[in-house]
């Protein structure tokens, strides 16, 4: 259907009055953004290529080594070297004598305890009630004994009267016999009452011991190395109650009983004898040797490992020696002065790490990717290494090989790339 002319004229007028916003807006800003991005990338590339910024590809690759303190050698001639572990001859997991609930734990790991020191308390409500019951039974038995004492005095008085009357023929023989038997009966009851008191005292002593057992004490002086229970947990001397019941409060080690156990191959056991001087080096402290001696050779061999166990005792106690530490043992051929010897002075480095020129010996120390030249003084050679007496500290990283090619590129303060 065709629209009227008037309607078309109105629509045309409205279209003429509408504002075209697209004509006033600027064109898209994407070309400007691309220009900015290209400029930034170009600036970065210019900085990398034309400014003095080191790149990994341009750094001098070097292999490094760590300067380590050399271990001292055992004093005397070693006839046999072996490995073993530090063990405690006196170690105990402290538990209770009866099953109970832990109320209080008074120790932590690493605490030094004395003999009979209180370690923990268990719930003693029931044992205390039983102790009080035994105490009441003892008091009752003592009261019964006092009552029988009074009855015995009365019976003896009656017997005396009856005997007086019998002498005057005023009482029959039956009355006299009855009073005599009454006295004997009361004496028997009195003796039984005394025995009842002894039983009550013994029962009270038992309950007192049960009550005291609720306080767990240290069996000997030592150090707590493990805490196994917390307040609120159940504890039992046997594995009862499933996995929710603990079997101990803590583990105590007597540090004075530490020694070394070594498994010696049975082919070399003839080199070991009781009292033989030994030097022990802990794996944790290889630079220190501890004087020791053979305590005993266990007279039994392990057929599976073909070894014989040897006990080695320390001659001096040291706080650094801890249970289950690994050790190296050197059995000496004769008794010598096995006093600890201080570690040799200086550190050991590869021979190729030390160079020399007109100013003396030097190394290059690498720290945070920068190699710095440092003058050193060396001592004797030990195999493929040389001992640096002064100029280097234990643990410092140095260039491992100073060849002519490497020295031509190295200089003090140059940035290097560590390849190992």
Written as six digits, the tokens of 185 are 């009966």
Average pLDDT over residues 190-202: 92
Average pLDDT over residues 242-258: 83
Model confidence pLDDT, tens digit, residues 386-418: 889 888 988 899 999 888 888 888 888 888 888
Q: Answer whether residue 128 shows pLDDT above 50.
A: yes
Q: Answer whether residue 206 shows pLDDT above 90.
A: yes
Counting Cα atoms < 13 Å in the Cβ hemisphere of 272 gives: 28
pLDDT at 295: 94
pLDDT at 98: 86
84 closest CA partner among 296, 281, 333: 281
Written as six digits, the tokens of 399 are 């260039």
Q: Are 259 and 313 contacting, i.e. CB atoms less than 8 angstroms apart? A: yes
H or E segment and range at residue 122? strand 118-122
Average pLDDT over residues 46-55: 51
Q: Are 371 and 62 contacting, i.e. CB atoms less than 8 angstroms apart? A: yes
Helix axes 125-167, 173-213, angle to 10 degrees: 170
Q: Answer whether residue 56 shows pLDDT above 60.
A: no
pLDDT at 34: 67
pLDDT band at 27 (very low <50, low <70, confident <90, very high): very low
Q: Are 414 and 60 contacting, i.e. CB atoms less than 8 angstroms apart? A: yes
Q: What is the Cα–Cα distance from 65 to 350, expressed in whole angstroms?
A: 8
pLDDT at 369: 87
Q: What is the Cα–Cα distance from 417 to 378, expressed in whole angstroms?
A: 27
Phi, psi torsion values for 329, nearest 5 degrees: -120, 130
Phi, psi torsion values for 245, nearest 5 degrees: -110, 125
Q: How far is CA 22 from each of CA 26, 30, 32, 33, rounded to the nearest angstrom?
A: 8, 17, 19, 21
Percent of the chain with pLDDT over 70: 80
pLDDT at 243: 56
Written as six digits, the tokens of 19 are 């504002």
Phi, psi torsion values for 238, nearest 5 degrees: -125, 165
Q: Answer whether residue 381 shows pLDDT above 90.
A: no
Model confidence pLDDT, tens digit, residues 217-233: 999 999 999 998 899 99
Average pLDDT over residues 103-119: 93
- Reduced to 3 states (helix: H, G, I; strand: E, B; else coil), residue 143 is helix
| pTM (two decimals) | 0.54
Written as six digits, the tokens of 117 are 């020191």
Q: Answer whether residue 338 shows pLDDT above 50.
A: no
Least confident of 129-143, 254-268, 339-353, 384-398: 339-353
């Amino acid at each position: 259907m065709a629209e009227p002319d008037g309607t078309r004229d109105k629509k045309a007028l409205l279209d003429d009055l509408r504002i075209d916003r697209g004509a006033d807006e600027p064109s898209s800003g994407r070309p400007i953004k691309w220009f900015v991005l290209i400029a930034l990338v170009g600036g970065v590339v210019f900085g990398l290529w034309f400014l003095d910024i080191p790149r990994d590809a341009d750094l001098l690759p070097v292999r490094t080594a760590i300067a380590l303190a050399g271990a001292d050698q055992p004093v005397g001639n070693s006839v046999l070297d072996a490995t073993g572990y530090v063990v405690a001859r006196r170690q105990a997991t402290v538990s209770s004598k009866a099953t109970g609930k832990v109320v209080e734990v008074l120790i932590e790991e690493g605490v030094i305890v004395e003999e009979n020191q209180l370690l923990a308390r268990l719930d003693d409500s029931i044992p205390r009630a039983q102790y009080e019951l035994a105490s009441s039974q003892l008091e009752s038995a003592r009261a019964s004994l006092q009552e029988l004492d009074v009855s015995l005095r009365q019976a003896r008085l009656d017997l005396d009267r009856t005997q007086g009357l019998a002498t005057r023929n005023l009482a029959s023989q039956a009355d006299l016999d009855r009073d005599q038997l009454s006295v004997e009966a009361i004496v028997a009851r009195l003796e039984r009452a005394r025995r009842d008191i002894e039983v009550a005292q013994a029962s009270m002593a038992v309950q007192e011991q049960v009550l005291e057992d609720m306080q767990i004490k240290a069996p000997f002086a030592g150090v707590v190395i493990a805490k196994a229970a917390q307040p609120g947990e159940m504890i039992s001397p046997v594995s009862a109650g499933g996995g929710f019941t603990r079997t101990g409060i803590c583990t105590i080690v007597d540090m004075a009983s530490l020694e070394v156990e070594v498994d010696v191959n049975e082919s070399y056991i003839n080199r070991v004898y009781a009292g033989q001087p030994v030097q022990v080096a802990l794996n944790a402290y290889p630079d220190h040797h501890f004087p020791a001696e053979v305590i005993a050779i266990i007279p039994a061999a392990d057929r599976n490992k073909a070894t014989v166990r040897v006990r080695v005792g320390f001659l001096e106690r040291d706080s650094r020696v801890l249970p289950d530490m690994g050790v190296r043992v050197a059995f000496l051929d004769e008794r010598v002065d096995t006093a600890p010897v201080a570690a040799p002075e200086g550190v050991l480095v590869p021979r190729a790490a030390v160079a020399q020129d007109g100013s003396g010996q030097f190394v290059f120390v690498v720290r945070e990717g920068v190699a710095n030249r440092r003058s050193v003084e060396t001592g004797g050679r030990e195999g493929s290494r040389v001992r640096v007496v002064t100029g280097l500290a234990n643990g410092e990283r140095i260039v491992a090989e100073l060849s002519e090619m490497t020295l031509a590129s190295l200089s003090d303060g140059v940035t290097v790339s560590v390849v190992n």
